[in-house]
Amino acid sequence: MKLSTKSTYGLRALIDLAVYSEEEIVSISSIATRENISLSYLEQLVAKLKKAGLVVSIRGAGGGYQLAREASEISVGDILRALEGNLEAVKCPGLSNSCEEADMCVTKFVWGKINNAITVAVDEITLEQIVNERKRIFANGAKNISECQN
């Protein structure tokens, strides 16, 4: 499975939002600047995250965005599914019994295990855990976000 830039940038944006919205409403342009993400692309991602119920917008002069739920209640899986859709590494018709050979297929066992492992892994990681890790990295001397990314 290969995730697109939607996931990479969307996850970075939500981490940024979680960090900075602890103190104030966060503008999308400030996230774009800090994370070096195109504003128009970020607007598209935030629209998907809003539709999925992960962020809310606050209108008005001091408006912007904040998390719709506590960071501890948002998993990486929630974020990735909002941006990418289904996270299955392999789309096997045998897993949903829409394959004529499903009863005889042994590889569906493999694909099911892989898909399940991905789901478990991304659903176990919360946004709060990532924010705490980010704070730890910065406390240990990272000067900017580019030192923390690939």
The pLDDT tens digits for 78-102 are 999 999 988 877 776 655 666 666 6
Residues 6+ apart with CB under 8 A from 134: 15, 19, 148
Residue 150 is predicted with a pLDDT of: 46
What confidence tier does 145 reach under pLDDT thresholds 50, 70, 90?
Answer: low
Task: Give the span between the Cα atoms of 59 and 132, in whole angstroms.
Answer: 29
Can you give the residue ranges of every domain in the chain? 5-148
CATH class, domain 5-148, is mainly alpha
Task: Give the span between the Cα atoms of 142 and 71, in whole angstroms.
Answer: 23
Segment 2-24, tens digit of pLDDT: 789 999 999 999 999 999 988 88
pTM assigned to the model: 0.83
What proportion of the chain, given as a percentage, has pLDDT over 90?
59
* Mean pLDDT value of segment 21-32: 91
